[in-house]
């Protein structure tokens, strides 16, 4: 008695020389992975299996994924804290992380003053004046 076995792959093109990633049991899994990898196609393999568990026929079906709207990239921003007294520095993703680092450093080292800098690709590195007032 013959039966059909189906599995899914994420792939980048329909060309002979293509990148494939998988296999996946469901289309949803393959589609999620294809979107993560930036692939535009899914490939569905259907194997017709014969009596002795031999593959009798293979079908390949390409499915083009609809292009989803690409969200606008957030400007890459890094926050840098640096002690004006001893020069110790750290890099942070959020303002609250910089504030916590500065509080700990200034508590452990009396009379030290921590400065905050913001770095973006468009503007470079610039100091944020009175940044403690902004966090309050």
The CA-atom distances, in angstroms, between 108 and each of 13, 82, 85, 119, 125 are 57, 15, 13, 26, 27
Return d(Cα 23, Cα 60) in angstroms, integer.
13
Higher pLDDT among residues 77 and 61, named by residue = 61
- Cα dihedral 96, 99, 105, 108 in deg (nearest 10): -90
Q: Do 42 and 9 form a contact (C-beta atoms < 8 A)?
A: yes
Tell me the pTM. 0.47
Mean pLDDT of 79-101: 92
Return d(Cα 113, Cα 116) in angstroms, integer.
10
Q: Per-residue pLDDT tens for 29-56?
A: 999 999 888 899 999 999 998 888 888 8
């Amino acid at each position: 008695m013959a039966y059909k076995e189906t599995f899914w792959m994420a792939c980048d093109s329909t060309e002979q020389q293509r990148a494939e990633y998988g296999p996946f049991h469901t289309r949803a899994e393959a589609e999620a992975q294809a979107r993560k990898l930036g692939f535009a196609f899914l490939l569905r393999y259907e194997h017709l299996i014969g009596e002795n568990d031999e593959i009798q026929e293979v079908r390949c079906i390409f499915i083009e994924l609809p292009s989803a709207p690409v969200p606008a990239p957030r400007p890459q921003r890094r926050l840098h804290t640096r002690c004006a007294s001893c020069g110790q520095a750290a890099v942070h993703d959020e303002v609250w992380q910089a504030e916590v680092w500065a509080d700990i450093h200034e508590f452990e080292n009396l009379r030290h003053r921590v400065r905050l800098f913001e770095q973006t690709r468009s503007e470079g590195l610039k100091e944020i004046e009175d940044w403690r007032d902004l966090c309050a």
